[in-house]
Amino acid sequence: MGVRCPDAAFMQAIGDDYAFSVLGKFWDFWRIDEVANQQVAELLMNNFMGLPTAAAKAAQKACNRFQANLAVDGVMGSKTLAALNSLIGQNLPKIYNAILAEWIAYLNTVNPTFRQGLLNRVNDLFQPMPEGGTNTAGVPVTTDDPVANTGGTEYALRVVSGALKFKGKDVVAVVTVVLGLVLALVSARYLLGVRQRIAIA
């Protein structure tokens, strides 16, 4: 039995309840809700979508830059979360930028079919925080907006824009883009809802 790719009508019909039910499971499973800073949480969520083991390893390597001595095992466990949250409290820009740099370093090793699209997406959505540093994707960036993914419609549009920059022409690349569009819309609605709930509380 084949899998039907979502069309425009399906995308438009995705409601808030569906968005929360889908992405909320991943957000909780990867323990993103336990990250002490929303900006770091959103960067991690972006990384974990589709590449969870690599994303966890990137976070662990970033923490180890500051002598966290974590095992780089690709598991987002209690030790990793404790080290991450401690570093967030000590110096948010440095740990954020370290995670971003480790993630870009990983993306530079992936299949060339997907590499540039993934790098474009990161560059479009996640700028280094202004403690210094450059985007190691090799694309000039600005630092006037430390975290460009501000949630809601803007977040969805920017993720979709990044996904459409994939250059692959084979079936796998096309499916990846389509799934990226679904996750973009779902994640945008979920993150916006989280922020609204926090504001009400």
> What rounded mean pLDDT belongs to the chain?
73
- For residue 124, being part of any structural domain is answered with yes
- For residue 3, being part of any structural domain is answered with no
- For residue 2, being part of any structural domain is answered with no
Q: Could you tell me where the beta strands, DSSP code E, fall in the chain?
A: none
Instruction: Quote the pLDDT of residue 158.
Output: 42
Alpha carbon 63 to chain centroid, angstroms: 17
Using one digit for the tens of pLDDT, what is the confidence trace for 58-114? 999 999 999 999 999 999 999 999 999 999 999 999 999 999 999 999 999 999 998
- For residue 1, being part of any structural domain is answered with no
Q: Please give the residue range of the domain that contains residue 169.
A: 8-200
- For residue 101, being part of any structural domain is answered with yes
- For residue 81, being part of any structural domain is answered with yes
- For residue 14, being part of any structural domain is answered with yes
How many domains in the chain?
1
Assess whether pLDDT exceeds 90 at residue 180: no
- More reliable by pLDDT, 156 or 179: 179
- More reliable by pLDDT, 41 or 152: 41
Instruction: Quote the pLDDT of residue 44.
Output: 93
pTM of the shown model:
0.63
DSSP string, 95-114: HHHHHHHHHHHHHTTS-HHH
Q: What are phi and psi of 77, to 5 degrees?
A: -100, -175
- For residue 142, being part of any structural domain is answered with yes
The alpha carbon dihedral of 48, 95, 60, 110 has a sign of positive
Instruction: Quote the pLDDT of residue 89.
Output: 94
